[in-house]
């Protein structure tokens, strides 16, 4: 199972810009293979600290609970899909 941790904040402009693409991507993914967990850094400070989140949006890719990749900031959805295809 590939789990994508999507760290964001409600006040973050880039997070708001990325959200529709993440929402659409989630609809395309097989939930048996890939899950996206949305994490608001303001409400989940301990989890954000555990992953050393210093900037949002940040995507952390976990394969069987091991971090295999990360993306900080807005990247094309095609870049995100390449990582998903590599690890799902």
| Per-residue pLDDT tens digits for 12-60 | 999 999 999 999 999 999 999 999 999 999 999 999 999 999 999 999 9
- Pairing status of strand 34-40 against strand 58-63: unpaired
One of 9, 12, 53, 60 is an active-site residue; which one? 12
pLDDT, residue 12, reads 97
Model pTM score: 0.94
Q: What are the structure tokens assigned to 70, written together?
A: 């990360």
- CATH numeric code, 2-87: 3.40.30.10
To the query of whether residue 26 is one of the catalytic residues in this protein, the response is no
Rounded Cα gap, residues 84 and 11, in angstroms: 27
Rounded Cα gap, residues 18 and 15, in angstroms: 5
How many CA within 13 A on the CB side of residue 35? 10
pLDDT, residue 2, reads 97
- SS3 (DSSP) at 85: helix
To the query of whether residue 60 is one of the catalytic residues in this protein, the response is no
Does position 88 have pLDDT exceeding 90, yes or no?
Answer: no
One of 2, 5, 9, 15 is an active-site residue; which one? 15
Number of H helices, E strands in the chain: 3, 4
């Amino acid at each position: 199972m590939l789990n994508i941790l999507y760290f964001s904040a409600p006040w973050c402009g880039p997070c708001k810009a990325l959200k529709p693409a993440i929402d659409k991507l989630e609809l395309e993914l097989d939930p048996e293979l890939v899950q996206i967990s949305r994490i608001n850094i303001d409400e989940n400070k301990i989890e954000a600290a555990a992953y050393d989140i210093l900037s949002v949006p940040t995507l952390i890719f976990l394969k069987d609970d091991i971090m295999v990749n990360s993306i900080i900031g807005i990247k094309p959805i095609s870049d995100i899909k390449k990582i998903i295809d590599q690890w799902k």
